[in-house]
Structures are given as structure tokens and as C-alpha cells.
């Protein structure tokens, strides 16, 4: 989802996009992806003015009538300054996941130790919910939270209760992101020193979870340990702050964004960086495709306003490229899940066949041992024959039976 957010974020650059690119940007929602902001109905608005421009509409969960900053003057693309207007739905969904996590964690603590199976499943659900909360901040909604936090600090408003809580939650999200970046930096320094302090074990587990949300890099190299921090936090923050603040210089914005992508591409070409070649191909294709998309926007901006046909062709190329990148990202995830399912199924079938072969071999060994010694049991005393049958039934080996025979001959 970060790729979709990056592409849709580029519509806030002050460029006169020709159709169909402008229409494409209209349907690519950067803000909350249809997540309703119920907090606008829950929190009261104290400052109700008779002026329609200052009146907040509370009867719609998805309406966003708060103060906004214009970015693209040609197509009237603007962004709200209040954090809840941008990320209220994200915050509300996070609270839901957090509530479910607390419930399952309490159930795990209250379940008796004898019921290990139930505790095992409860622990799996709690771990999944932890990863989901982390994924919302780190991957799926990272750019929205960055953009909302930047505008929340730049245009701080404290008029109503809604605005005060919105500002406080925006600061909280900014501190969470800062904490995650700090944890990743501490983990990098500890890996260089080779320290294994048990008190800092939570840092290792948190950074491991963050790495699972990015491409699979080999942690043996310095670049491999640094890439998750670069691709998820640093590069996305640079792209967001450039678009949020350098509004008057669209060419400078696209140039710096292109440089960020070029740096990531160069580092991705480092040998023995990825665990899988497919992930390396996907990562490079995503970065190169986004870089080409930026260059198409530069070309559109530099062309004469009269060159409408050329701009239209470039806009079609840009839309096709964006759709290819988005669809390829979705298809790669589906293919990865399918491959993992096939591997698990194959392993399960192999394990089942091995169990069958093992059982059949045990049966054959027992039959063979009984056939070998069935004829000798008639020549032996009743006590020794009874002893031998008990040993055979107890799955005694052939070597042990031969030792018994030698002891009797002595």
C-alpha cells in the first residue's frame, strides 16, 4: 500500500496534469482509503459559527470540512490541517485493533496452564494483532501519518475540544514514529558491536517484526540491516516532507524525490542483499517504475501549454505505468501466498507418505521376525518359548534374540 500512497501523493505537486492523469488522481484516495472518521461525531464542536465557512459539518462521518491547505492550484487538490480530519479513521481503526488485542491478551492470562491448545491459539491471535497494529503505522498508512503529523505541527490549532485532542493524537503518532526510528538505529549500533544484552531483547524483537513488514534482506551485511530503515522510514519521510513544505518549487520537489529513488536503486543492486531473487526483482521494478513516473511528470511540466497532444500521450503512459506497478504489487503478494500454501501442502503430503512407509516397514519387520523364530519355538521348552514370544511382541531386535540363544547354549 506504500506504493499506492507514494503515487497518489504526487498529485499534491503543483502541476497542471492533463487527462486522463487528472482523472486517475481523482480516484486514487491518499487520505484514509474510505475509512470513516467517526470521531467527528463523537467529539463535540464548541465553536459553532453562523458563517458557513467556519461551520463544521457533523452529520457525516466521512465529511472533511476543516481548514485545509491548497497544494495543486490547477485541480484544487488540498489537504486538511487537522490530524483527525486526515487520520481520524486510521486512529479509530487502531483503537479497535488495540481493544481486541487487550481482550485476547487477558484471555491468554486467565486461561489455565492445563489448556495448552487454547493458550496456543490465543497467543497466535494476539501476535497477529500486534503485527497488524505495527503494519498500520509502518507500511499501510505511513505516508498519511507523516503528512498529517507535519501539517499538525505546522498549523497547530487549539480552538475546540476536537482540535485539541486531534493535536495531541498527532503528537503521539509523531513520537511513536520517532521511537520506531530510534529503536532501529539502536539495533544497528548493537549489531555492529555484537552486543547481546538481555535487557534490550525487546528492541531485537521489535526490529525483527519491522523487517518482516519489508522486503527480506540478509542481516549479515551492513546494507541489509540498514535497508528496512531506509526504505520504510527515511525515504518515505523525505518524500512526504518535500511535498508538504516545498510547494512553490515543483521541479525541485521531483528532482529530490528522483534522487531518493536513485539512491535506493543503487543500494538495492548490492550483491547478496536479498534472501530471494524474486523480491530483488520486485523491489527494483517498483523503485524504477516510480522513478520513471516522476520523470514523466517532469516532462509534462516542462512541455509548452500548447503541446496538448504530447501531454495527453504522456499522461496515458503515466496512468498505464502506475496501474502496472499497483497490479504487479498485488499479484506478487497473491503469488507469494499461493507459493507458501503449495509448499505447506507438499510438506504435509511428504510427511504423511513418510509415516505410511514407516508403519509398513515396522509391520514387515515384525512379520519377518515372527517367521524366522516361529519354527524354533517348537523345539524349545515352554518357559523359553513363552519368554521368546513376549520378547517378540515387545518388538525385541534380532541381535537381542541371538544373544539370548547364546546364553542358553552356554
* pTM (predicted TM-score): 0.72
Residue 120 is assigned to a structural domain of this protein: yes
Residue 371 is assigned to a structural domain of this protein: yes
Same domain, 254 and 399: no
Residue 248 is assigned to a structural domain of this protein: yes
Q: Which of 288, 322, 343 is the last residue of a domain?
A: 343
Same domain, 131 and 217: yes
Same domain, 258 and 223: yes
Same domain, 177 and 263: yes
Give me the pLDDT at residue 29, please.
Answer: 63
Q: Which domain holds residue 173?
A: 2-343
Give me the pLDDT at residue 64, please.
Answer: 43
Same domain, 74 and 104: yes
Q: Which of 343, 365, 390 is the last residue of a domain?
A: 343
Same domain, 299 and 362: no
Same domain, 240 and 96: yes
* C-alpha triplet 298, 300, 302: angle, nearest 5°: 70
Residue 262 is assigned to a structural domain of this protein: yes
Give me the pLDDT at residue 32, please.
Answer: 47
Give me the pLDDT at residue 395, please.
Answer: 46
Same domain, 317 and 367: no
Q: Residue 72: enclosing H or E segment and its boundaries?
A: strand 68-72
Give me the pLDDT at residue 274, please.
Answer: 85
Number of domains present in the structure of the chain? 2
- Rounded CA separation 187/207 (Å): 7
Name which of 177, 181, 143, 33 is nearest 93 in CA terms. Answer: 33
Same domain, 339 and 374: no
- Rounded CA separation 364/29 (Å): 67
Residue 399 is assigned to a structural domain of this protein: yes
Does residue 90 contact residue 32 with C-beta atoms inside 8 Å? yes
Pairing type for strands 77-80 and 68-72 reads: antiparallel
Report the length, in residues, of the chain.
410
Same domain, 395 and 376: yes
Residue 93 is assigned to a structural domain of this protein: yes
Q: Which of 343, 362, 386 is the last residue of a domain?
A: 343
Same domain, 361 and 318: no
Same domain, 172 and 131: yes
Give me the pLDDT at residue 258, please.
Answer: 93
Give me the pLDDT at residue 129, please.
Answer: 86
Per-residue confidence in pLDDT tens, the chain, 410 aa: 567 778 888 888 888 888 888 888 887 765 544 455 555 666 655 544 434 444 333 333 334 456 778 888 888 888 888 888 878 778 888 888 888 889 988 988 888 888 888 888 888 888 888 888 888 777 778 888 888 889 888 888 887 888 888 889 889 989 988 988 888 888 888 776 655 666 677 778 788 888 877 777 887 778 888 888 888 888 889 998 999 888 889 999 999 999 999 999 999 888 888 888 888 888 888 889 899 999 999 999 888 777 888 888 999 999 999 888 888 878 877 887 788 788 888 887 887 777 778 877 877 777 776 666 565 555 555 555 555 445 444 444 544 555 555 555 55
Residue 348 is assigned to a structural domain of this protein: no
Give me the pLDDT at residue 61, please.
Answer: 36
Amino acid at each position: 500500500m506504500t506504493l499506492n500512497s507514494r503515487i497518489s501523493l504526487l498529485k499534491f505537486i503543483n502541476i497542471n496534469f492533463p487527462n486522463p492523469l487528472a482523472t486517475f488522481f481523482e480516484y486514487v484516495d491518499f487520505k484514509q482509503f474510505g475509512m470513516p472518521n467517526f470521531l467527528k461525531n463523537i467529539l463535540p464542536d464548541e465553536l459553532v459559527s453562523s458563517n458557513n465557512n467556519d461551520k463544521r459539518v457533523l452529520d457525516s462521518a466521512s465529511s472533511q470540512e476543516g481548514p485545509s491547505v491548497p497544494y495543486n492550484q490547477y485541480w484544487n487538490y488540498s489537504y486538511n490541517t487537522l490530524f483527525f480530519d486526515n487520520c481520524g479513521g486510521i486512529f479509530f481503526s487502531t483503537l479497535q485493533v488495540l481493544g481486541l488485542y487487550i481482550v485476547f491478551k487477558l484471555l491468554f492470562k486467565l486461561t489455565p496452564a492445563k489448556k495448552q491448545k487454547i493458550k496456543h491459539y490465543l497467543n497466535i491471535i494476539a501476535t497477529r494483532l500486534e503485527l497488524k497494529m505495527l503494519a498500520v503505522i509502518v507500511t499501510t498508512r505511513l505516508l498519511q501519518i507523516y503528512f498529517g503529523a507535519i501539517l499538525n505541527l505546522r498549523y497547530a490549532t487549539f480552538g475546540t475540544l476536537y482540535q485539541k485532542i486531534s493535536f495531541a493524537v498527532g503528537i503521539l503518532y509523531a513520537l511513536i514514529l520517532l521511537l520506531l526510528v530510534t529503536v532501529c538505529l539502536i539495533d544497528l549500533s548493537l549489531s555492529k558491536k555484537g552486543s547481546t544484552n538481555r535487557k534490550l531483547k525487546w528492541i531485537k524483537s521489535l526490529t525483527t517484526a519491522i523487517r518482516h513488514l519489508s522486503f527480506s534482506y540478509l542481516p549479515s551485511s551492513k546494507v541489509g540491516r540498514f535497508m528496512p530503515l531506509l526504505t520504510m522510514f527515511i525515504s518515505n519521510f523525505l518524500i512526504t516532507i518535500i511535498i508538504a513544505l516545498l510547494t512553490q518549487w515543483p521541479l525541485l520537489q521531483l528532482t529530490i524525490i528522483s534522487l531518493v529513488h536513485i539512491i535506493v536503486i543503487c543500494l538495492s543492486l548490492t550483491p547478496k542483499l536479498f534472501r530471494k531473487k524474486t523480491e530483488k526483482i520486485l523491489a527494483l521494478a517498483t523503485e524504477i517504475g516510480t522513478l520513471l513516473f516522476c520523470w514523466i511528470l517532469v516532462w509534462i511540466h516542462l512541455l509548452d501549454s500548447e503541446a496538448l497532444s504530447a501531454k495527453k500521450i504522456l499522461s496515458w503512459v503515466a496512468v498505464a505505468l502506475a496501474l502496472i506497478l499497483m497490479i504487479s504489487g498485488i499479484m506478487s503478494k497473491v503469488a507469494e501466498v499461493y507459493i507458501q500454501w503449495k509448499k505447506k501442502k507438499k510438506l504435509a503430503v511428504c510427511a504423511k507418505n513418510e509415516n505410511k512407509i514407516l508403519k509398513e516397514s515396522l509391520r514387515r519387520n515384525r512379520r519377518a521376525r515372527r517367521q524366522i523364530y516361529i519354527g524354533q519355538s517348537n523345539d524349545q521348552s515352554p518357559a523359553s518359548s513363552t519368554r521368546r514370544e513376549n520378547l517378540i511382541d515387545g518388538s525385541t531386535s534380532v541381535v537381542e534374540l541371538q544373544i539370548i540363544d547364546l546364553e542358553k547354549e552356554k
